[in-house]
Structure 1
Amino acid sequence: MSLSAAAIAARPLALRRGAAAALLPRCQRRSAQVVNIHSRFFQTRVEPRVVAKYREKLEQKQKSAGVGSFEELKEVYKDKIAEVRKDAANTPEVEAVLEAVSTPAPAPSAAPKLSQTPPPAPSPIAAAARKASTPPGVKTLASFVDPEKLSIHNDPAEIEMIWRARFINDPTSLCASVPAETYKRMSTLAKKHPMFLLPLPREGQGVELHLLQWTFPTAESATVIFTTLADYKLRGEFAQPHTTLTHHLELLDSHKVALAQGQVVSERGVTVKEAQLLVIALQKFYGGIEGPQQEKRRKMLEQFSRGDEAFSVDALIEEMEKTV
């Protein structure tokens, strides 16, 4: 069995970075509420520049009318003001301006004294959460656990145990704890070669080819999408992934660990065990599992990425069958 890499890699992959978020589960709620329009206007703060503009004009009017205060000016023009207020009943901003300009401007307050005690430094976990800009549909570590509470544990083994316990009752989930150095090695290759082909043995049916793509939707996450090559050829940009695997990076720097979580859509023809085989293959080719064949596997990634005619699916299958 042989498949030209040029024929595969030359096709533009429709599952781009933005599509990764679109393919993840979404839940959007829309709600409507009745708003009192007049209340909304009355609660609107009058712009300071508007107040200043009318205050200056009124002070000029005071001088021309020969009165010494705004209250005296209002008394002179009380009939005119009443008429304006009557006509502007449906525009409460006029009333707000009148009230604002009639109130003396507050005296400038003294500069606040600086506290002698510096504020506490934010935790690395909170800083990482603020740094992440999460598109709609993309789940963060906080979607599954409390990152602050999890960060109390310094032992990676304890963190992994807690992480696995979170998904123990979900039969379609994938989860793992990945050492920081391993993840960094994999992500370096992933950014150079975001797409690749993986063979999946099918008992009595030979081998089925699956297409994967790495995406990096936020600074704190990296997601791998798996779909069958046959489905991609048939549906193109409408091909649906059967498995997604997201690496959450909030603890990467502070605890030297990435927490991986994935989901298998069973009705799309792939079991959890088969998805696990694909994840193991992913680790093999992207440096998550180091071994004597690593250089050869890296070369396959490069051949596929550039559409090299030397790329061989037969060699890929043979490499997949090796234990390391």
Structure 2
Amino acid sequence: MNKAHTIEQITALWTVYHASRSSGTGRGYVSAVVPIASYEAMMERARNYPMFVLPLTRPKDESMQSPGEASISEDPAEFFFLQWGLYPAPLIPQPAPKDDLFPQPRPLVYTDGAGQRNPATSTILLTPLVQYKLHQSYAPPYFAITHYTDFARTHGIVLLQGIITPTSSAAVAADGGAPDGKYMLTQLDAQMLALGVQQFYLPAMDGEGHLAKRSREAADLLHKFHHKPDEFQWESLLKFKAGLQP
């Protein structure tokens, strides 16, 4: 963007763009605008804990459960394996002066006026745990979340884009959606998984400025999953299932 845009304008453009996908239904896409402080806090945990498993609530009337499902209380849950990928930081665009009637493309730079670089771009791939157990690194992702950090230093925001994988029988339309509307996950499932990532990777503070109890428990599960697997208890993970349902 050669012309200066406000945060509100970028947010509106990002939202409208994704709402226009899939023949104007927005199906198969999730989008959001994340404050830079929240993104950097998530990145700190992501670098330390690049893999994890999220529980996703399933309908109560499902009579058959796959190996990747478990039950607690009255609601079953399906586990999804997630993995972060970090990529080089994008260059920082230089907006043209406001009084320039005929702005010319300006070179991109590595740092802003304060000498700060953009954060790394990141992608989160999510697939059912049963698929990951069967295929490991070849498991097909059902949902992919990408964080674009191009406006991190210029506007203090990160653009989030989530894409649900179309079913193998569905051809991809010109606008990126599945023409028959068939995807590996429902729109609600994708939204709940995106919230699950936030629940475990974005530290939440209490009223006194300390890490909230639930956020401490989430951090403890992340640590045990990576460094103390013998102490990791699936039952503790399932307690977070309540936060990942409609």
1:174 to 15, 27, 30: 30
Please state whether the residue corresponding to 2:19 is helix, strand or coil. Answer: coil
User: Does residue 276 of the first structure (1) align with residue 191 of the second (2)?
Assistant: yes
Rounded to whole Å, the distance in 2 between the matches of 1:257 and 1:286 is 17
Task: Single out whichever of 297-306 and 216-225 deviates more from structure 2.
Answer: 216-225
Equivalent residue letter for 2:29: S
Q: Cα gap change, 1:177/1:287 in structure 2, threshold over 3 Å: closer, same or farther? A: same
Equivalent residue letter for 1:163: W
Residue 248 of structure 1 and its aligned partner are, at CA, apart by 0.4
CA contact (8 A) 1:283 1:289 kept: no
2:57 to 201, 206, 214: 201
Residue 239 of structure 1 and its aligned partner are, at CA, apart by 0.5
Residue 269 of structure 1 and its aligned partner are, at CA, apart by 3.3
Rounded to whole Å, the distance in 2 between the matches of 1:185 and 1:216 is 14
Q: Which residue of 1 aligns with 2:130?
A: 230
Residue 266 of structure 1 and its aligned partner are, at CA, apart by 3.9
TM-score when normalising by structure 1: 0.51
CA contact (8 A) 1:247 1:258 kept: yes
> Which blocks of at least 5 consecutive residues in structure 1 are unaligned?
1-146
Bigger radius of gyration, 1 or 2?
Answer: 1
Equivalent residue letter for 2:237: L
Q: Cα gap change, 1:193/1:321 in structure 2, threshold over 3 Å: closer, same or farther? A: same
CA contact (8 A) 1:245 1:263 kept: yes
Residue 254 of structure 1 and its aligned partner are, at CA, apart by 1.2
Please state whether the residue corresponding to 2:10 is helix, strand or coil. Answer: helix
User: Does residue 311 of the first structure (1) align with residue 181 of the second (2)?
Assistant: no
> Which blocks of at least 5 consecutive residues in structure 2 are unaligned?
22-26, 63-75, 91-120, 168-182, 207-211
Q: Which has the higher helix share?
A: 1
Please state whether the residue corresponding to 2:231 is helix, strand or coil. Answer: coil
Rounded to whole Å, the distance in 2 between the matches of 1:314 and 1:266 is 32
Q: How many residues align?
A: 174
Deviation digits for residues 96-116 of structure 1 (CA, Å, limit 9, x no counterpart): xxxxxxxxxxxxxxxxxxxxx
Equivalent residue letter for 1:165: V
Query: C-alpha root-mean-square deviation of aligned residues, in Å?
Result: 1.8
Moved over 3 A (4+): 288-291
Residue 262 of structure 1 and its aligned partner are, at CA, apart by 1.7
Percent sequence identity is: 27
Q: Which residue of 1 aligns with 2:45?
A: 189
Q: Which has the higher strand share?
A: 2
TM-score when normalising by structure 2: 0.66
Please state whether the residue corresponding to 1:167 is helix, strand or coil. Answer: helix
